[in-house]
């Protein structure tokens, strides 16, 4: 197939072609196939009854898509064929895929979930398009210098041939000036099904050259900086205003496009809910509500009717209970950025104040701050959490007053992941074992994974699982050596914590364990199987403590890996620039999946699901989707520790937590914490950073690392001991794989459609 394509399109013969030429040919061929499929899809729709009348628009500030070539080849059904064709010439498709630049359009779970949802929507045949922004330099590319994180622009657009510019263009009116947008698109292929689209809005005036050292730039030049970076530094007012500009630009384009598409299909604006469903992914797109009301008003729809229409059309997904993540913008910001929305938001707020004499549910508070989540809940027909525990917490505490007002609007939609990327592409060897064992049906009917349980006692299957895990460990080791110069032992236990760096995710707890383990080995303890702690995480540029935690981990990496007494038994590795591409190598290689957030703080998590699907064993707290993983696999196939959500929530409510009390009572904890500022560490690291983190833990420890420390050390040792019985460990791994079907994003999207969108 690829050999013939290259011959017909003037490329060198396959055996003589450069990897870059093969990549270019594959990308062009794939794009042509996607377009052909899209035309066939359109023709089929016209033959039936015209275009899909009702369409779902998933609006999100993030879409962490990952590289697209391999995923498209899988969904088109030709990945294995292409791989075999290349292999005959001694060419690895995996190496060819490395030529593609990963779209840097997301940060963590929020963006990765959005990407999975687009894939699942297309796979299920739903008309579900994404709408976001085309960030030229993404979040940032992480590099390590002097044991610290440094940020550089991620110029992903230079080498991504799937991004296409289209003719969509809209005028967006800001306070005092206006802009004219342009739009880029990424085709989203479903598995043996339809093609949907991710629409990414941009400005033609945006200039890469205004970036100075690192990722600093002039935040005042809105026309030149608007889509430069995802989540620009908001530690000053200019940065916060820029975020509001970005959000309004996104939703204004989205609203205009949605109305335009609905009109072409016969919508008279009064019946918009028959043509559109809008999912507001977190609070960043919240201004879609007043913007749609404003635009409907310009089309002749009265205010009250417009409010009713928009409420029917919009639904809101809450992803957090962290107060700082529930956006609240000063009214003065909106007056500057989007003055046309201000009178509408005030009218929406007056309606609520008139109806409910309850300040907790006001949209505009006494300090003239606009609570975006409050507007979403009042003026959408659905609010959903993303895991059973998360939704319970929203109902019982964080959004309890809203739940009392609108109990019928609250739903739970537990997050999911797409098996095409996280199994078929990331771990083909395991996928092949499953196909050979239970057939292909699980790819589109994930509940069929349960059939794998019949091999629970099968020695050959367990042996295959062991072989696949070792193959994946060696693949990761080779990749890290080749791309980052890091050396890891594939015979070690891979104990992995990869996720966004945030105090509530508690990488600092894992680092304290690393210190404890280092000191234990120095005292003569010998581990029967070596352990490698693998970290991967980016810290927001302005998040000082998060960057201090990275500094601590990098200092420990230097100290431990160069100590001849310790390094044969225990290593710490901080992987640079953790992204989807690296995740596809890390997740299949994992033995122990660290999911150790403070109970009640993680909404769901999706990394926990990816590890589970690939046979990693969860070591975590009863938080987020860990609760559902625990219920599915049972007590014997997971390692649970830590205080429960009720204990944590009550302690926050009492406000009586003092980390120093735990430090004073626990010599093992005290030793580990004090080591942060020990002479050995200060020889490697910076006193300012290490001392600041030390004081933060000792004086504050807001996410309660100390109360869980003793139990965490114990459960880690229990997991390491369990690994020594390889047959039982592999059986645990098999159970996790077999029970992972529930966490398919296909199931999640099917549930969204049945309960919320009804398309």
Positions marked active-site? 319, 499-500, 505, 606, 610
Render the burial of 141-159: b for 16+ CB within 10 Å, e for the rest: bbebeebbbbbebbebbee
| DSSP structural state of residue 559 | H
What is the SS3 string spanning 274-327?
HCEEEEEECCCCCCHHHHHHHHHHHCCCCHHHHHHHHHHHEEEECCCCCHHHCC
Helices (H), 314-458: 331-337, 342-355, 372-378, 388-393, 400-405, 419, 428-438
Nearest-angstrom CA–CA distance, 557 and 499: 18
Residue 354's CB: how many other CB atoms inside 10 A? 8
The length of the chain, given as a count of residues: 759
Task: Strands of 490-642 (E only): list them.
Answer: 493-498, 531-536, 570-575, 592-595, 617-620, 639-640
Nearest-angstrom CA–CA distance, 18 and 408: 59
**β-pairing, 493-498 with 531-536?**
parallel
- In angstroms, what CA-CA distances link 124 with 35, 194, 196, 426, 536? 19, 8, 11, 21, 32
| DSSP structural state of residue 526 | -
Helix axes 342-355, 303-313, angle to 10 degrees: 80
Nearest-angstrom CA–CA distance, 3 and 15: 9
Contact 690, 552 (CB under 8 A): yes
Residue 256, CB-side half-sphere exposure with 13 Å CA sphere: 17
Residue 224, CB-side half-sphere exposure with 13 Å CA sphere: 10
| CB proximity list for 235: less than 8 A, separation 6 or greater | 542
Backbone angles phi, psi at 206, to 5 degrees: -60, 135
Contact 68, 195 (CB under 8 A): no
Maximum Cα–Cα distance across the chain: 79
| CB proximity list for 589: less than 8 A, separation 6 or greater | 469, 472, 473, 475, 476, 494, 496
Residue 147, CB-side half-sphere exposure with 13 Å CA sphere: 20
Burial of 290 (0-12, 13-18, 19+ CB in 10 A): buried
DSSP state string for 675-705: HTTSHHHHHHS-HHHHHHHHHHHHHT-TT-T
Contact 596, 620 (CB under 8 A): yes
Which among 315, 308, 302, 312 is positioned nearest to 275, based on CA atoms? 312
């Amino acid at each position: 197939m690829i050999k013939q394509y290259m011959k017909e399109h003037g490329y060198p013969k396959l055996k003589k072609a450069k990897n870059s030429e093969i990549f270019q040919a594959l990308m062009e061929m794939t794009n042509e196939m996607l377009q052909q499929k899209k035309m066939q899809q359109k023709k089929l729709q016209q033959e039936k009854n015209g275009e899909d009348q009702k369409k779902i628009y998933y609006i999100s500030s993030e879409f962490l898509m990952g590289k697209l070539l391999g995923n498209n080849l899988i969904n088109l059904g030709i990945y294995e064929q292409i791989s075999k064709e290349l292999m005959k010439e001694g060419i690895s498709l995996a190496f060819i895929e490395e030529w593609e630049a990963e779209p840097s359009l997301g940060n963590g779970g929020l963006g990765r979930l959005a990407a999975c949802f687009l894939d699942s929507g297309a796979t299920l045949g739903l008309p579900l398009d994404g709408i976001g922004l085309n960030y030229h330099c993404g979040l940032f590319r992480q590099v390590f210098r002097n044991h610290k994180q440094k940020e550089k622009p991620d110029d992903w657009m230079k080498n991504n041939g799937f991004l296409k510019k289209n003719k969509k263009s809209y005028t967006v009116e800001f306070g005092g000036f206006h802009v004219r947008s342009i739009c880029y698109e990424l085709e989203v292929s479903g598995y043996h099904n339809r093609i949907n689209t991710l629409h990414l809005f941009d400005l033609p005036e945006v200039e890469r050259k205004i970036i100075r050292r690192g990722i600093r730039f002039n935040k005042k030049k809105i026309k030149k900086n608007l889509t430069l970076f995802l989540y620009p530094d908001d530690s000053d007012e200019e940065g916060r205003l820029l975020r509001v500009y970005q959000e309004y630009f996104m939703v204004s384009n989205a609203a205009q496009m949605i109305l335009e598409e609905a009109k072409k299909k016969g919508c008279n604006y009064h019946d918009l809910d028959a043509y559109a469903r809008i999912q507001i992914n977190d609070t960043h797109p919240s201004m879609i509500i007043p913007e749609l009301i404003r635009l409907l008003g310009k089309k002749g729809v009265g205010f009250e009717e417009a409010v009713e229409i928009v409420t029917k059309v919009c639904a809101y997904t809450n992803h957090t209970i962290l107060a700082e993540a529930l956006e609240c913008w000063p009214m003065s910001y909106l007056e500057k950025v989007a003055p046309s929305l201000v009178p509408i938001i005030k009218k929406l707020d007056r309606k609520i104040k008139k109806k409910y004499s309850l300040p907790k549910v006001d949209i505009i508070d006494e300090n003239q701050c606009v609570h975006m989540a409050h507007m979403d809940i009042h003026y959408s027909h659905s609010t959903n959490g993303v895991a059973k525990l998360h939704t319970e917490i929203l109902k019982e505490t964080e959004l309890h007053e809203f739940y009392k007002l609108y109990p019928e609007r609250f739903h739970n939609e537990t997050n999911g992941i797409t098996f095409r990327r996280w199994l078929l592409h990331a771990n083909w060897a395991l996928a092949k074992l499953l196909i050979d064992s239970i057939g292909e049906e699980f790819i589109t009917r994930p509940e069929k994974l349960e059939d794998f349980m019949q091999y629970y006692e099968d020695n050959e299957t367990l042996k295959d699982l062991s072989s696949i895990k070792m193959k994946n460990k060696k693949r990761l080791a080779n990749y890290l050596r080749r791309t980052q110069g890091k050396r890891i032992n594939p015979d070690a236990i891979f104990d992995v914590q990869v996720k966004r760096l945030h105090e509530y995710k508690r990488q600092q707890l894992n680092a304290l364990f690393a210190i404890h383990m280092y000191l234990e080995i120095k005292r003569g303890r010998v581990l029967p199987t070596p352990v490698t702690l693998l970290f991967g995480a980016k810290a927001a540029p302005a998040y000082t403590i998060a960057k201090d935690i990275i500094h601590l981990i990098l200092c420990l990496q230097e100290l431990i890996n160069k100590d001849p007494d310790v390094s044969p038994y225990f290593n710490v590795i901080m992987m640079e620039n953790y992204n989807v591409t690296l995740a596809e190598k890390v997740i299949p290689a994992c033995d122990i999946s660290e999911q150790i957030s403070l109970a009640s703080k993680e909404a769901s998590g999706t990394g926990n699901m990816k590890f589970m699907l690939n046979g990693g064993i969860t070591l975590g707290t009863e938080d987020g989707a860990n609760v559902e993983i625990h219920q599915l696999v049972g007590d014997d196939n997971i390692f649970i520790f830590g205080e429960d959500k009720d204990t944590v929530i009550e302690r926050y409510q009492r406000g009586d937590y003092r980390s120093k009390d735990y430090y004073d009572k626990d010599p093992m904890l005290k030793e580990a914490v004090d080591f942060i500022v020990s002479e050995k560490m200060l020889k490697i690291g910076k006193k300012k950073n290490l001392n600041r983190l030390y004081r933060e833990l000792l004086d504050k420890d807001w996410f309660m690392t100390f109360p869980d420390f003793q139990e965490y050390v114990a459960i880690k040792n229990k997991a390491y001991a369990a690994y020594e019985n390889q047959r039982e460990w592999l059986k645990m791994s098999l159970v996790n794989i077999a029970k992972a079907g529930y966490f398919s994003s296909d199931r999640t999207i099917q549930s969204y459609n049945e309960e919320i969108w009804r398309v």
